[in-house]
Amino acid sequence: MKHGSILVTGGAGYIGSHTVLQLRARGERVVVLDDLSRGFRQAVLDAPLVVGQVGDRDTVLRLLKEHGVDTVMHFAAYTIVPESVSEPLKYYGNNTCSTRTLLECCLAADVRHFVFSSTAAVYGIPSGGIAAEDTATAPINPYGTSKLMSEWMLAGVAHASPLTYAALRYFNVAGSDTGGRIGQATPNATLLVKVACEAAVGKRAQVAIFGTDYPTPDGTGVRDYIHVEDLATAHVDALTYLRAGGASTTLNVGYGHGFSVREVLASVERVTGKRLDVREEPRRPGDPPALVARADRIRSQLGWQPKLDDLDTIVRTGFAWEQRLLREPW
């Protein structure tokens, strides 16, 4: 059967742009919708870019029809946890309300499949710091809540229509394209690996550890860091699965093991050969102590096989990207 094209919302952003490259490498037809509020035109290497908003019904409907879209991959969202704590309505508006509009358009245009960027933040503080897909959801910040509400809408829509979906709950995404073409370029980055790599190239003077009194082995927060290319592959695998008639599903995307903040900083020092100026600070609001995936379901259901499950490799690609950004700022 001939497949339609794929609308990638947020395709100029960090994870979306890496996924677009893999879709194009597979010969898929792709169109990107991004308002460039957080994304970069130059991150869209191999697909048409339409500058617009996911919450703009007319633009989305036109795009779906003009490009013969049968699958939507929805990355466009705000993703900064501390910002979501201080500006919750911004997150509910851009993440939840816009997703509602997008879903309405998908129904109107008979879109068949939907791959959704969800987050491990839907779990809040799971017991033992480990979350499986059937662990109770209890987000502790508006970012997680905004995404969980979208998951619920998606489940309702799939129940009431032929649309099938994969909701992918990302753990901590890091690193950059192993070919060095693209990476995360967000100004004022807050993600640990990026922040530490920025410090290693001299873009920042210091790195803060937010909280050293957590109930974790070394007192700092533990996360399941996953390379952005393995995450992008999970989307391509989800597409294959849904096209083959797979039922709607919700999947963790992580490696299933965690590293503490101190372990990440040690990796950055090891890989870059630089000494970081590290400052211990109080806990950051909205942060759980530990969050690691039970990650077997995605392997068995999608046949997902990560290739870059190694902290130093993740850091190496992130560092190479920061060095490039220093030479050629985006």
Helix count and strand count (H, E) for the chain: 11, 15
Q: Considering beta carbons, is residue 164 or 267 the nearer one to ligand UD1?
A: 267
Nearer to ligand UD1, 131 or 236 (CB): 131
Identify which of 31, 91, 96 has the alpha carbon closest to the alpha carbon of residue 67: 31
Instruction: State how far the Cα of 240 lies from the Cα of 29, in Å rounded to an integer.
Output: 14
Shortest reach from residue 196's CB to ligand UD1, in Å = 7
Residues that bind ligand UD1 (CB under 6 A): 79-81, 119-121, 141, 144, 170, 172, 190-192, 195, 207-211, 221, 223, 261, 284, 287-288, 291
- How far apart are alpha carbons 264 and 199 in whole angstroms? 13
Q: How far is the CB of 214 from ligand UD1 (least distance, A)?
A: 8
Q: Which is nearer to ligand UD1, 28 or 229 (CB)?
A: 229
Q: What is the closest distance, in whole angstroms, from the C-beta atom of residue 211 to ligand UD1 in the complex?
A: 6
DSSP 8-state symbol, 55: T
Q: Which of 143, 165, 225, 241 is catalytic?
A: 143
Long-range Cβ contacts of 48-55 (<8 Å, 24+ apart): 49/11, 49/12, 53/98, 54/9, 54/10, 54/98, 54/99, 54/101, 54/102, 55/93, 55/94, 55/97, 55/98, 55/101, 55/102
Secondary structure element (H or E) that encloses residue 259, with its range:
strand 259-260
Q: Which residue is nearest to ligand UD1 (CB)?
A: 221
Shorter beta-carbon distance to ligand UD1: residue 112 or 227: 227
Residue with tokens 């992918």: 168
CB of 79 to ligand UD1, least distance (A): 4
Nearer to ligand UD1, 126 or 306 (CB): 126
Query: For residues 315 and 272, what is the distance between their CA atoms, to the nearest angstrom?
Result: 9
- Give catalytic status of residue 143 as yes or no: yes
Q: Which two tokens stand for residue 127?
A: 């017991």
Closest separation in Å from C-beta 117 to ligand UD1 = 9
| Active site positions, annotated | 143
